[in-house]
Chain A
Amino acid sequence: MKGKIIVNDQVIDWRAGMTVSDVLTVMNYTFKLLVIQINGKNIKRDDWPTATVPEGADVKVIHLMSGG
């Protein structure tokens, strides 16, 4: 997918060098208990600011609170 990525089944714009943290900012995902997977692979929290998201990636940002 040219210039796009999929985040939780939503298609959003991609740009070169986009990190996991950037994706969270774009999506306004401010919750803290998250599991992040890029193309099925877990990305550790410490790596979120540096891990880049490839074009066309399938990103899952799983919010864990079962909560309330």
Chain B
Amino acid sequence: MNIGEMKAAHKRITRWEYQPGRIEKGYNDRTLHVDLSTSTVTEKPVTPLMKDKFIGGKGFGLYLLWHATKPTTQWNDPENEIIISPGPCAGITQYAGAGKSLVVSISSQSGRIMDSNVGGYFGPYMKFAGFDAIELQGKANEDVIIVIDGTDHSVTIETAPKEAIDSHVLAEQLTEMYAKDEKDKINVAVVSAGTAADHSLIGMLNFSFWDPRRKVARLKQAGRGGIGTVFRDKRIKALVCKTTGIKPNWNNVVDLNKIIERGQRFQKEIKELDDKQCEMRDKGTAHLMEIMDAYDLLPTTNFRFGKAADIGEDINKIHSNVLKSLFNLKWRDLDGCWFGCAMSCCKSVDGFELKTGPYKGDKVTVDGPEYETAAGLGSNCGIFDPLHIIEANFYCDTYGICTITVGTITAFVMECYEAGILNKERTGGLELKFGNSLAALELIHQMATGKGFGAIAGRGAEYMKHYFADQGWGDRQFLSDIAMVNKGLEYSQYMSKESLAQQGGYAMTNKGPQHDEAWLIFMDMVNNQIPSFEDKAEALYYFPMFRTWFGLCGFCKLPWNDVEPENNREKYPPKEAAKVPEHVDNYLTVFKAVTGRDIDKDELILQSARVYNFQRIFNIRRGYGLRQHDAQPYRACGPVTKREYESRQERYDKQLVDWMGMTPEAVAKMTVEEKIAAHRKYRTDRYEKLLDAVYKRRGWTRNGVPTIAWLKEIGMDLPEVIEVVKPLQ
């Protein structure tokens, strides 16, 4: 079917026209609300309080969702919303990495408040069209698309019965449909999910950006927590935003020259240093593959081990140089997910011929794989085959499911299979052994159709660990120990066993174990820079707060510390150098140059602390967000099985002596089971002590509830917030 026929099949449900606005200092001062149940579109003002306390991005998303929902609202209730907000600095093109949007919703996987950051053009284009955020509420009766047309200042809701659902097809269909001509395709951005988002709880959203060189709609993902599932539950097939083209100062910033100056300085660093440092332009985040392996941090066979060699595999098979050899680097320095990003880390494999599934034989462009994807779908499943990783990456993207989540789910079911908890009968014939590429791909295809074992796996690891135990297939405690899930969300792909601080960095997060709040493993485990509980607590205060700020403003985190100024290490003591002070200063300067608000690095942390605490309290309002919810699976904390212990016996035995004060003679007499039990007791207690220290530093009670005094101190003492925490003080 051609594009004209598809378009002819659209039925317009609503068309709403709005007054064109003008962005001032990064804000339109209005947001867009779409109610799919009533097919109404309205605009709402952005209040001074929103700008003051919530800044934008994730802050706006949380504020709007709080007021749109009740404490009892479920993910699939009509009042649940998906909010997309890019933040005041999003859309500038003169400083690298300033095109991010934050997507917020009640998670279909966890019931908690999910946030996911994403590149692509939709967020900035929506700002240029006139809105600082979009709220999607209600449910349509049939599949619809929502078109925000910044060229004629209208928003339409229309049926879209004929278009594909899978993202790699749909994004291109809609880009072509809404662009005037080939040149105009760059001015169209699409948000979509995919068929697996229809049949699982782990759906994600793809945000497109048209690549005029490859002539394809590239895709960036808001992956975590099932927001794609919420999107499809609302019967939204896609969002489309059209703009008239990029203008140099569309944000009407206060001081463009300042941004240009800092932007050029940063660009020079990338040009001169990236090849010597992280090679982001050549490899993207995949440069971490062999590094993580070398440091015993690459999750291998469901986070049991940290190295390929532990299972007799060779890291060189999925070494970053191998992935690089598959990337098309012809436009290496132009692979940005937003204009002006000199780091250009969005690598792609072009002309990749698919071997399985409904698109078998097609030659496609695959975005990535990034480190998390390659580790999750590769080493963690015991599959050291780059072509498998790329194929699985492609299908996860187009089906609209998160590669990190799928990786951790597959690794979990593979361990269950090897442990005899699952067998061919229980998996409907899938031989889910570690290393079985075809079975892993088939599981993904089954998630897309909601058939077979894929229907169970697509509900996530939290569901499965209970389901398998309820069926009497395995021991409940063992399943809880090995299912790498906290707060209903699967772990991202780093080993935290030997880094207590990272255990907190994962399990004490607001949304669940994603590394975007804090990545402290080197600081803690390798450098031994934060030895005491107080040191770790300080790091678990500073870094989550600092990193939250990117998502308030519309920045990407990667340019902050994936390249560092040449003299960073000489100029600052190591702990300060880890914060990359000159880049922090760039961000403060750019924020001021956009918004006119003159903040220092302490106020930056406070801005984040307000939103961070608000999200914690939002979870408390929903019955979560307490100490019990910060518990971690034991696999994240220490060795569960004999094989794990024996693989690092020397280290673990030494720890029995050094940490637990046992004599070498006493250790020599212990069985492995006794040693595992001793570690478990010690490590679990130690994590509890960490919780105490971190809660204290964060101004929370021992139960993890922000204190009223702390909320007053940071300026997040809104009456509705105090009302939630008051009975819990």
Which A residue's beta carbon lies closest to that of B279? A32
Which B residue's beta carbon lies closest to that of A37? B574
| Interface members, chain A 31-68 (any B CB < 8 Å) | 31-35, 37, 42, 44, 60-68
Query: Which secondary structure dominates where chain B touches chain A?
Result: loop
Give per-residue flags for B552-566: 1 if the beta carbon is below 8 A from chain A beta carbons, else 0: 000000000110100
A9 to B527: give the CA distance in the assembly, Å: 8
Contact A65 B574 (CB under 8 A): no
**Which among B291, B515, B529, B569 is the interface contact of A31 at CB below 8 angstroms?**
B291
Q: Which of A31, A60, A64, A68 has the most CB of B within 10 A?
A: A68
Chain B residues near A68: list those with CB within 8 A: 492, 494, 515-516, 519, 521
A8 to B579: give the CA distance in the assembly, Å: 20
What is the minimal beta-carbon distance from B490 to any residue of chain A, in angstroms?
16
Contact B561 A65 (CB under 8 A): yes
Chain B residues near A28: list those with CB within 8 A: 294-295
Contact B290 A67 (CB under 8 A): no
A60 to B575: give the CA distance in the assembly, Å: 12
Contact A62 B291 (CB under 8 A): no
**Which among B295, B519, B577 is the interface contact of A67 at CB below 8 angstroms?**
B519
Contact flag A32-B278 (CB < 8 Å), given A63-B522, A66-B543, A66-B578: yes
**Which among A9, A29, A32, A60 is the interface contact of B574 at CB below 8 angstroms?**
A60
A8 to B530: give the CA distance in the assembly, Å: 12
Chain A residues near B574: list those with CB within 8 A: 35, 37, 60, 62, 64
What is the minimal beta-carbon distance from B30 to any residue of chain A, in angstroms?
35
Chain A residues near B529: list those with CB within 8 A: 62
Contact B291 A8 (CB under 8 A): no
Contact B579 A42 (CB under 8 A): no
What is the minimal beta-carbon distance from B539 to any residue of chain A, in angstroms?
9
Contact flag A32-B277 (CB < 8 Å), given A63-B526, A66-B578: yes
**Which among A8, A44, A64, A65 is the interface contact of B528 at CB below 8 angstroms?**
A8
Contact A30 B519 (CB under 8 A): no
A66 to B561: give the CA distance in the assembly, Å: 7
Contact A66 B290 (CB under 8 A): no
Chain A residues near B522: list those with CB within 8 A: 31, 63-67
Asked if B570 is at the interface of the complex by the 8 Å CB criterion, the answer is yes
Contact A67 B562 (CB under 8 A): yes
Which A residue's beta carbon lies closest to that of B539? A66
Contact A66 B277 (CB under 8 A): no
Contact flag A66-B520 (CB < 8 Å), given A28-B294, A60-B527: yes
What is the minimal beta-carbon distance from A20 to any residue of chain B, in angstroms?
14
Contact B561 A32 (CB under 8 A): no
A37 to B575: give the CA distance in the assembly, Å: 13
Chain B residues near A64: list those with CB within 8 A: 522, 561, 564, 568-569, 574, 577-578
Contact B290 A30 (CB under 8 A): yes
Contact A8 B523 (CB under 8 A): no
Contact B570 A42 (CB under 8 A): yes
Chain B residues near A34: list those with CB within 8 A: 569
Chain A residues near B570: list those with CB within 8 A: 42, 44
Chain B residues near A63: list those with CB within 8 A: 522-523, 526-527
Give per-residue flags for B479-500: 1 if the beta carbon is below 8 A from chain A beta carbons, else 0: 0000000000000101000000
Asked if B360 is at the interface of the complex by the 8 Å CB criterion, the answer is no
Which B residue's beta carbon lies closest to that of A9? B528
Which A residue's beta carbon lies closest to that of B529? A62
Asked if B330 is at the interface of the complex by the 8 Å CB criterion, the answer is no
Chain A residues near B577: list those with CB within 8 A: 35, 62, 64
**Which among A37, A44, A62, A65 is the interface contact of B519 at CB below 8 angstroms?**
A65
Chain A residues near B520: list those with CB within 8 A: 66
Contact A8 B527 (CB under 8 A): yes
Asked if B276 is at the interface of the complex by the 8 Å CB criterion, the answer is yes
Chain B residues near A31: list those with CB within 8 A: 291, 294-295, 522
Contact A30 B291 (CB under 8 A): yes
Q: Which of B291, B494, B527 has the most CB of A within 10 A?
A: B527
What is the minimal beta-carbon distance from B180 to any residue of chain A, in angstroms?
41
Contact flag A32-B276 (CB < 8 Å), given A62-B529, A63-B522, A66-B579: yes
Which A residue's beta carbon lies closest to that of B561? A66
What is the minimal beta-carbon distance from B277 to any residue of chain A, in angstroms?
6
A28 to B294: give the CA distance in the assembly, Å: 7
Give per-residue flags for B491-517: 1 if the beta carbon is below 8 A from chain A beta carbons, else 0: 010100000000000000000000110
Which A residue's beta carbon lies closest to that of B575? A62
Chain B residues near A62: list those with CB within 8 A: 527, 529, 574, 577-578
What is the minimal beta-carbon distance from B482 to any residue of chain A, in angstroms?
23
**Which among B492, B494, B562, B569 is the interface contact of A42 at CB below 8 angstroms?**
B569
Chain B residues near A30: list those with CB within 8 A: 290-291, 294
What is the minimal beta-carbon distance from A32 to any residue of chain B, in angstroms?
6
A60 to B32: give the CA distance in the assembly, Å: 53
A64 to B277: give the CA distance in the assembly, Å: 11
Chain B residues near A67: list those with CB within 8 A: 515, 519, 522, 561-562
A61 to B528: give the CA distance in the assembly, Å: 10
What is the minimal beta-carbon distance from B359 to any residue of chain A, in angstroms?
32
Contact B523 A66 (CB under 8 A): yes
Contact flag A61-B561 (CB < 8 Å), given A28-B294, A66-B579, A68-B519: no
What is the minimal beta-carbon distance from B305 to any residue of chain A, in angstroms?
16
Chain A residues near B526: list those with CB within 8 A: 8, 29, 61, 63
A32 to B519: give the CA distance in the assembly, Å: 17
Contact flag A61-B294 (CB < 8 Å), given A35-B577, A66-B578, A68-B515: no
What is the minimal beta-carbon distance from B347 to any residue of chain A, in angstroms?
18
What is the minimal beta-carbon distance from A61 to any residue of chain B, in angstroms?
7
A61 to B569: give the CA distance in the assembly, Å: 12
Which A residue's beta carbon lies closest to that of B543? A66
A3 to B543: give the CA distance in the assembly, Å: 39
| Interface members, chain B 275-299 (any A CB < 8 Å) | 276-278, 290-291, 294-295
A31-B294, A66-B520 known, 16 other contacts, Cβ within 8 Å = A8-B528, A28-B294, A28-B295, A29-B294, A29-B526, A30-B290, A31-B291, A33-B278, A35-B569, A35-B574, A64-B574, A64-B578, A66-B578, A67-B561, A67-B562, A68-B492
25 contacts between A and B (CB under 8 A): A8-B528, A9-B528, A29-B526, A30-B290, A32-B278, A33-B569, A34-B569, A35-B569, A37-B574, A42-B570, A60-B527, A61-B527, A62-B529, A62-B578, A64-B574, A64-B577, A64-B578, A65-B561, A66-B520, A66-B523, A66-B580, A67-B519, A67-B562, A68-B516, A68-B521
Q: Which 3 A-B pairs have the closest CB atoms?
A: A68-B519, A63-B522, A68-B515
